Amino acid sequence: MSETVTTAEQQTRLPREIWVLVGASFLIAIGYGLIGPALPNFATSFDVGVTAASVVVSAFAFVRLAFAPASGRLVTRFGERPVYLWGLSIVAAGTLACAAAADYWQLLLFRSASGIGSTMFTVSAIGLLIRISPPHLRGRASGLWGTSFLLGGIAGPVAGSGLVAVSLRAPFLAYGLALVLTTVLVWWQLRNSELASRPSGETEPAMTFRQAMRHPTYRAALASNLTNGWIVFGVRMSLMPLFVTAVLLKDETFTGFALAVFAAANAAVLLLAGRFADHRGRRLPALFGLALLAAGTTLLGLTSDPWVFLVASFVAGVGSGALNPAQSAAVADVLGAKARGGSVLAGFQMAADVGAVVGPLVAGAIADQWSYGAAFAVTGAIGALSLVLWVFATETLPGRRADEHTAQDVATDSCCPESGGRS
C-alpha cells in the first residue's frame, strides 16, 4: 500500500530542481520591476531627451531579439545549466555596471549587454524546464514558472519606487546584487543534480528549427507566442495608457489599476490552466485562451466606459493565463525531454520578442492614421489568426511514461521519413 502511495506521489510531485528555477524566476522578475521605474529617469539625468531615454529601454529588447539565435546554439553546444548561469552572471555584471555608469553612452552599452545575458538565461531556463519536468506535468511546471515571474513583476515596481526615492542608482545596485546571490543559489542547488546535467553519453540528435517547423503544433505555438508578445508585452504596455488618457479621460492611477486587473486575472488562471493542459491536452486551453485574448483586446478599443474597459482587461488577462502553459508545454512535447534543440527554443522566444517590438509600432501607426478602435481591432485579429493555426494543430499531450516523445517523433518522421524517425 505504501509503495502505491509513493508511486502516486512521484507522479504528481514536481522535482526539487523545478522549485529552484521557480524561485530564481521570482527573484529575476522582482529585479526587472526594481529598475523599471528608474531606468527612463536615470537616462534623462544625463541631459538627454525622451527619445534617447526610450532608446535605452528599447535597446534591451532589441539585443535580446538579435542574440536569441546565438543563445540557442550555445544551449545546444554546452547545455542548459552552464548557459543559464552564464546568462545570469552577464545580467548581474551589466546591471551593476549600469549603477556605476558615468554617462549616457555607458548606460546604453551596459543595458544592451544585459540583454545578451537575458536571452541566454531565458532560452536555457525553458530548456531546463523541458529536461527536468515529467512529461505529464509540463503544463503545471510551465504555469508555476510563469506565475512566479508574474508575481515578481508585480512586486518589483512597488519596491523599485521606494528605492528610486533614495537614489536613481539604488535599484540597479540592488538588482545586480540580487542577481549575484541568485546565480550562486542556482549553482549551489543544481551543481550535483543529475536531472539538470546533460548525460555524457547522450545520443539524441539535435532538433533543428526547420525540423520543428514541420510540426503543425510548433507552428501554432510560434504564432500564439507572437500574439502574446504583441498584445501582452507590446500593445498592453504602450497603447493602453494612451487610450485611458485620450478616450476614457482617466489618469495614470486608473491605468495602473487596469494593468493590475489584467495581471491578477492572468496569475489566477496560470496554475489551473497548467493542470488542465496536463490532464486534458494542450489544444483546448490554447484555443480558449486565444479566443478570450483576442475578444478582450478588441473590446478594449470599442468602449468608452471605464467599467467595460476593466472587464475587457480581465477577459484578456484570463485568456493570456490560459494560453501560456498550454503553448509552452506543447513546445516541450514537440522537442521531447531528451532532444537537444536550442534553436527550437530560441525561435519560440524570438516570436514573443518580435511581437513585443513590432506590435506597438503597428498599433501606434494605425491609431495615428485611423483610430484607437482600429488599432485594438487589428491587434485582436492577430490573435484570431493564431487561433486558426491552433484549430489545425495536433494534440501533443504525451503518455504517462517518461520515455514517450510522440510529438518529437512526428516532427522527425515528417522531415526524415527514410530514416525511420531517428538515427
pLDDT in tens, 386-409: 999 999 999 998 764 444 444 445
Cell matching residue 37: 521605474
| Whether residue 192 is found in the same domain as residue 231 | no
Residue 422 lies inside a defined structural domain of this protein: no
State the number of CA atoms in the 13 A half-sphere of 378 facing the CB: 18
Where does a domain end: 198, 223, 241? 198
Is residue 114, in this structure, part of any structural domain at all? yes
Q: Are 143 and 274 in contact (CB under 8 A)?
A: yes
Phi, psi angle pair for 177, to nearest 5°: -65, -40
User: Does residue 262 contact residue 316 with C-beta atoms inside 8 Å?
Assistant: yes
Structural domain contains residue 87: yes
Do residues 353 and 64 touch, judged by C-beta distance below 8 A?
yes
pLDDT at position 168: 83
> What is the mean pLDDT of each successive set of 10 residues along the chain, which is 423 residues long?
43 80 86 75 82 76 85 83 92 94 92 90 83 82 82 72 78 90 89 68 70 93 94 82 86 79 89 91 95 96 92 95 92 76 84 87 88 92 95 83 45 45 36
- So what's the pLDDT on residue 401? 41
340: DSSP letter: B
Evaluate whether residue 178 is within a structural domain: yes
Q: Is the dihedral of CA 324, 328, 330, 331 positive or negative?
A: positive
Q: Which domain holds residue 243?
A: 206-416
- What are 415's three cell numbers? 522531415
DSSP calls for 20-48: HHHHHHHHHHHHHHHHTTTHHHHHHTTS-
User: In sequence order, what are the residues at sequence separation of 6 or more whose Cβ sits closer than 8 angstroms to the Cβ of residue 190?
Assistant: 17, 20, 81, 196
CB-CB contact of 316 with 300 (8 Å): yes
Considering the domain architecture, whether residues 256 and 367 belong to the same structural domain is answered as yes
- The answer to whether residue 9 is domain-embedded is no
Q: Indicate the number of domains in the chain.
A: 2
**Torsion sign (Cα): 273, 274, 279, 285:** positive
Of 152, 150, 145, the residue nearest 19 (C-alpha): 145
Residue 25 three-state SS: helix
Q: Based on the domain organization, do 351 and 271 belong to the same domain?
A: yes
What is the model's pLDDT at position 389? Answer: 96
Last residue of a domain, one of 175, 198, 221: 198
403 falls within a domain: yes
Q: Are 183 and 211 within one domain?
A: no
Do residues 171 and 306 both lie within one domain?
Answer: no
Q: What was the pLDDT predicted at 50? A: 67
**Residue 214 and residue 270 in one domain:** yes
Residues 349, 234: one domain?
yes
Q: Which one of 182, 198, 214 terminates a domain? A: 198
Q: How many CB atoms lie within 10 A of CB 115?
A: 22
Closest by CA to 94, choosing from 115, 68, 69, is 115
Question: Which residues are CB-neighbours of 246 under 8 A, at least 6 positions away?
Answer: 372
- Is position 401 within any domain? yes
Same domain, residue pair 210 and 192 = no
- Determine the pLDDT at residue 202: 57
305 and 191 assigned to the same domain? no
Quote the radius of gyration of the chain (alpha carbons, Å).
Answer: 21
3-state secondary structure of 396: coil
Backbone angles phi, psi at 206, to 5 degrees: -75, 125
Distance, CA of 149 to chain centre? 9
Alpha-carbon span 236 to 300, nearest angstrom: 10
DSSP structure string for 179-196: HHHHHHHHHHHHTT-TTT
Same domain, 216 and 162: no
Question: 254 burial class (0-12, 13-18, 19+ CB within 10 angstroms)?
Answer: middle
Q: What angle do CA 278, 262, 282 make, to 5 degrees?
A: 20
pLDDT in the model for residue 197: 67
CB neighbours of residue 201 within 10 Å: 4
In angstroms, the CA 218 to CA 225 distance is 10
The residues, ordered by sequence, that sit 6+ positions from 157 with a Cβ below 8 Å of its Cβ are 33, 34, 36, 37
What is the domain-level CATH number for residue 243?
A: 1.20.1250.20
Q: Is residue 92 part of a domain?
A: yes
Residue 115 has phi, psi (to 5 degrees) of -65, -35
Amino acid making up residue 411? A
Q: Are residues 184 and 213 in the same domain?
A: no
Do 142 and 158 lie in a common domain? yes
